[in-house]
Amino acid sequence: MQFRVRHNHTTVDAPETVYFVREEKRKFEQMGIPYEIHYPKESMWQLIVRHVTPPTRLMRYCCADLKENTGEFGERIVTGVRKAESNNRKNNQGAITIPKPKKDLLKEAEKDDNFLSTNKGGVIVMNLDNAETRRTVENCFRTHKVIINPLIDWDDEFLWWYIKKNAICLNPLYGCGNCRVGCIGCPMAGDKRWSEFERYPKYKEAYIRAFDKMLIEREKRGLKNCNKWSTGLKVFKWWMEDDNMDGQLAFDMEGAIYEEYT
């Protein structure tokens, strides 16, 4: 069976992830398996300026522009997503997903118990059982980009057993206590972001610079900024849900006092 491996470079990947992907690409190509690293047209920093707002849990334009915009028409894409990774996937993800369906498919979904409409307007094809409607599902594949999730029901215990049994090489960040590895600063990561920016301070600086440029762009477009968005640093604090007050003092490594928040 012919296949190729694709990694979507998000421009906010951890350095360890970048080096790991490059090494994996070398290994796969030595085996004669095509391995593509897809570089986006715009970086995360450019997207922030163009969208004139930081990425949030509700406004996940970064996922759409950096991770979900690849694949050819009618292509079958195999992923490693699992229900155990999030409640949203547990409640809404099937073994095979057809994103952004046509109107006629939505009408078909209303009549067929093997199709499930999501609360986000998508359609999931429930193909976890050996149903008699398997043929109908395959007919829909001819004109849609299909995402297949073969690991969808794997729990954490079985996943790690399989990895150890087959001696699968992993991103080294999993050996540093990370349960999931994604974009640095992803709003979906919650409090984990604080430790990420401690480990990668240059990314924090890059986000603040992008937020500064975003504020300039907002002014050009005539968009109003609240007091919490007066500077790139304040946008960063708002984005990180930081409740510390401006003017708070801190100590550096030499014991000198400085103003942490301005």
> Per residue in 91-102, pLDDT tens?
555 544 545 445
Task: Please tell me the pTM assigned to this model.
Answer: 0.72
CA atoms within 13 A on the CB side of 69: 14
**Lowest-confidence region among 50-64, 77-91, 223-237:** 77-91
Which residues have a Cβ under 8 Å from the Cβ of 144 and sit 6 or more positions away? Answer: 74, 98, 101, 102, 105
Determine the average pLDDT of the residues in 40-65.
93
Environment class of residue 165 by beta-carbon count within 10 Å: exposed (0-12), middle (13-18) or buried (19+)?
A: exposed
Pair 154, 82: CB distance under 8 Å: yes
Q: What is the pLDDT of residues 129-170, one digit of tens each?
A: 333 332 222 223 433 567 777 888 888 899 999 999 999 999
> Other CB atoms closer than 10 Å to residue 179's CB: what's the count?
8
